[in-house]
Chain A
Amino acid sequence: MKSKGIGKGKGLAAIVLVMALAAGCGSGNGNSSSNQESGAKSGGQVIKIASQSPLSGGSSIQGEAIKLGAQLSLDDHKDEFSKLGFTLELVPYDDQSDAKKGVANAEQIGADQAVVGVIGHLNSGVSIPSSVVYEKYNLPMISPASTATEFTDRKLKVANRVVARDDFQGPAGAQYAVKTLNAKNIFVIQDKTAYGQGLAEAFRDAAKEAGASIVGYEGITVGEKDFNGVLTTVQSKKPDLIFFGGMYAEGALLVKQAKDKGITAPLMGGDALDSSGMADIAGPDVAGTLYSSVAGDITKSNKEWADSYQAKFSKGPEGYSVYAYDSMSVMLAAVKKSIEDNGGKLPAREKIRDAVRATKDFEGVATKVSFDDKGDNKYAKVFIYKFEGASYPGSMISEVSQ
C-alpha cells in the first residue's frame, strides 16, 4: 500500500511536469495570438508570409540573411498593403538545416490559414521534402537559395526559385574555368552534402565535356577543420584549379590550408562561398579565390539598397539577402495581383499559387524574374567573382546568362 502511495506521488510529479510544459506552450501561443490581434487593430486582415531557413547551426549566417532579406522586402511593402486593407506579417521559422524539422514546420505553416506563401529554404535537402508538404496545402514557396535540380524537376505546382539550377551554375563555372582561365587539370572536392555533391558533379561533367581533365575527385566531412590529407593529394596531382562544392566554413579552411601547403592553384566554388565568412576565416589567403553566384554585386549595382539593409539591420547584406528580398517581392506582387483580381478580398491559396507561377518579367533588385512551367527563373544568371583581398564581397569578373 505504501509503495502505491509513493507511486502516486511520482505520478503527480509527472503530471505537473506535463502541465508545466503545456503552460509554457500555452503562454507562447497566447502571445502570438495577442500580437495578431494588435496587428489586426492597426490595419485589418493579417496576411502572413513564412520564412524557413536555418537560424541555428553551421549555415546560420546565410539562414539569417534570408530571414532579414525577406523582412526588408516585407517592410517595404507594408504601406502598399495597408492601403488595400491588409497587414503584412513575417513568421520566421528555423529549419535547422534538418529535413525533419523543415517538414514538421511546414505542416504547422500549412495549417495556419493566414499564411499565404513561404520564402525558403536554404538547403536543397530541406526544400525537397518540405515542398511536398506545401504542395498538399497549395502553399506557394519561392526558394532564394536551393539549387538542386530535383527541387523543380518533380514539377510541383508550388515549388519556385529565383536562383540558377545546379546544372546551370556548375557548367557556367566550368565554362569560365576551362575557356577563360584555361584550366587543363582540375581537382574537384565536395563536402558530401546534397548541395555540394550536386554542384560538384555538374561542374565535373561540364568541365570534362569542355576538354579539361579531372585529376581527382574527393569528398571531405562537414565540420572538420583539418583538410591536410586531401590537400596533400591535391598537391601531388598539381592541378591548375581546385573546384570545391560545399559551404563557406570548409571552403575557407581549404583555401587557407592550401596556401599553407604552398599550393598556388586557385580555388573556385559555388554560391555558398558567397559569404563574408570566407574573408573572416581565410583572411588575406582568400585573395584569388573564385566563386560563382547568382546575383550581381549588390553593394555596387544598387548601393542604395545595400545601404538601407545596412541601416536597418546594422550589418552588411550577404549574397542570399538580396535573393530573399526579391523572392519576397515576387511573392507579394503575386499576392497583391490575386487580391486585385479577386475584388479586393484575399483569394484562396490556389489562386496565389498560380499567380506566383505566372510571374513574368518581374524587375527585382538583383535579378529579373520569370518562372517557367517548372518554377525555374528564366532570367537566372550566373556571375563569377574573385576575392581580391580579405574583404567581402569579391569583385565581379564575368557574367553568364542562360
Chain B
Amino acid sequence: MNDILHTLPQVLIDGLALGAIYAVVALGYTMVYGILELINFAHGEIFMTGAFVGTAVLLAAQGTGLAASLPPWLFYLLIMLIAMMFTGALGVGIERVAYRPLRKAPKLISLIAAFGVSFVLQDVVRFIAELRTGNYIVSSSSLYGERMSLPASSISSLFGDATVKTNTLIILGAALLLMVALDRFVNRSKWGVAMRAVAQDRETASLMSINVNKVIVLTFFIGSALGGATGVLFAQQYGTIDPYIGFILGMKAFTAAVLGGIGNIRGAMFGGFVIGILEMFASSNLGTLTGGSFGAEYKDVFAFSILIIVLIFKPEGLFGRAVKEKV
C-alpha cells in the first residue's frame, strides 16, 4: 500500500501526459461520430501520420540548419501547424474518397471501408519512412527534453518525488488549449452551431439552409488536425515512432470517447484523462496488487475491459444521453 502511495505522484504525472494524448485523439472520434455516426477507424492512423509529418519536418529543418535560426518554441509551433494542415487535409481527403460515397450505405459497409483506410495509411507511411531512412522505426531528437523534479514529498512524506519532462508540461498545456479552443468553437461560433445542428438531425439542418457537406468537411478537418497535432506532441514526448502506433492508441482513445459519452466533447476530454491515469496506474501497480500473479502485461486487457463494461452497462457513457432507437 505504501508503495502505491509513494509512486502516486509519478503515476499521476505520467497518466496525465498519456491521458492528454488520448483526450485530444478522442475528440476526433467523438466529433466524427457525433455527426456521421461512423467510427472513423482511420483516426488513429491520422494521428500516426501527424507524428511522421512532424518528425520529417523536424529532421529536414535540422538538416538544413533552419532549426537553429528559429527559437525552439516558434519552431515547435511551426511543426505542429504544418502537421495539422497536412493531417487536416488528409482527413478531408479520406472523407471525400472513402466515406462520402458510402454515406447512405449500411453501417457495416462504411465501417469496413474505414478499416481499410486505416490499413492503407499504415502501409503508405511505412513505405515512405522505409524508403527515406531504411527503417520504419524513426527517431528524432526532443526539442524540450529537460527534466525537472517535482518535490511531492514535501506535501506528505508518504509521497515520493516525481520527475517531469518539460515536454510533458507542453503536452498538457497544448492539449488543454486545443480542447478549450474546440469547446468554445463548437459552443459559441456560427459554424459550431451548424455542427451541432447537423449532429442532431442532418435533414432538418439542411432544410435550415446549412450546407451539410461543408459542415462534415469542416468536422473532418478539425478532428484530423487535432489528431495530427497530438501526433507531433507524441513524437516529441517519446522520441520514437513507427507506423503501427496509431491503431491500439486509437482504440484506447475511442474507449475514452465512449466512456465520456460518444458525441460529447467535454466527455471525451474527461474520458481521455481517466483512461490515461487508469492505464498508468494499472501498469505500475497491478503486479503489486496481485502479489505478482498478474503484472503490467495485463494493462491493455484492463483498458479493453473498461470499454466492454461501459458499453454493456452504460452504453451512453458517463455524460452522454441515452438514445432511443426510432423505428
Interface residues of A (CB under 8 A from B): 58, 60-61, 192, 216-221, 223-226, 228-230, 232-233, 235-236, 249, 252-253, 256-257, 260-262, 277, 280-281, 283, 315
Contact = CB atoms under 8 A, between A and B. Distances in A.
Nearest to B247: A223
Most chain B CB atoms below 10 A, which of A217, A230, A315 = A230
Interface in B261-320: 279-285, 287-288, 292, 295-297, 299-300
A220 B163 CA distance: 21
Contacts of A257: 238
Interface of B: 3, 6-7, 10-11, 14, 18, 134-137, 139, 141, 147, 149, 160, 163, 165, 234, 238-242, 244-245, 248, 279-285, 287-288, 292, 295-297, 299-300
A229 B135 contact: no
B240 A252 contact: yes
The list of the 8 closest CB pairs from A to B, nearest first, reads A229-B283, A219-B297, A228-B14, A229-B284, A232-B284, A225-B238, A281-B139, A233-B284
B239 A229 contact: no
A280 B238 contact: no
B3 A236 contact: yes
A216 B284 CA distance: 11
Contact of B239 (A217, A233, A256, A315): A256
B240 A225 contact: yes
Contacts of B241: 225
B125 to A, nearest CB: 14
Contacts of A216: 287
Nearest to A276: B135
Contacts of A253: 238-240
Contacts of A219: 295-297
Given A219-B296, A226-B14, 9 more contacts: A60-B136, A220-B297, A223-B244, A225-B241, A226-B18, A229-B11, A233-B284, A236-B7, A281-B240
A281 B137 contact: yes
B166 to A, nearest CB: 11
Contacts, number: 101
30 contacts: A58-B137, A58-B242, A60-B135, A217-B287, A220-B296, A221-B297, A223-B242, A225-B238, A225-B245, A228-B280, A228-B283, A229-B11, A229-B279, A229-B280, A229-B281, A229-B282, A230-B283, A232-B284, A233-B285, A233-B287, A235-B7, A236-B3, A236-B6, A236-B7, A252-B240, A260-B163, A261-B163, A262-B149, A281-B139, A315-B134
Given A228-B280, A277-B135, A262 B287 contact: no
Contacts of A261: 10, 163
Most chain A CB atoms below 10 A, which of B147, B234, B284, B300 = B284
Contact of B238 (A217, A226, A235): A226
A97 to B, nearest CB: 13
B226 to A, nearest CB: 20
Contacts of B238: 225-226, 253, 257
A218 B14 contact: no
B78 to A, nearest CB: 23
B292 A217 contact: yes
Most chain B CB atoms below 10 A, which of A60, A216, A228 = A228
A232 B10 contact: yes
Given A232-B10, A281-B137, A218 B297 contact: yes
Contacts of A221: 297, 299-300
Nearest to B288: A233
Nearest to A225: B238
Nearest to A190: B297
Given A219-B295, A226-B18, A281 B239 contact: yes
A188 to B, nearest CB: 11
A228 to B, nearest CB: 4
Contacts of B7: 232-233, 235-236
Nearest to B249: A225
Contact of A229 (B136, B149, B245, B296): B296
A74 to B, nearest CB: 22
Contacts of A249: 137, 240, 242
A15 B75 CA distance: 55
A262 to B, nearest CB: 5
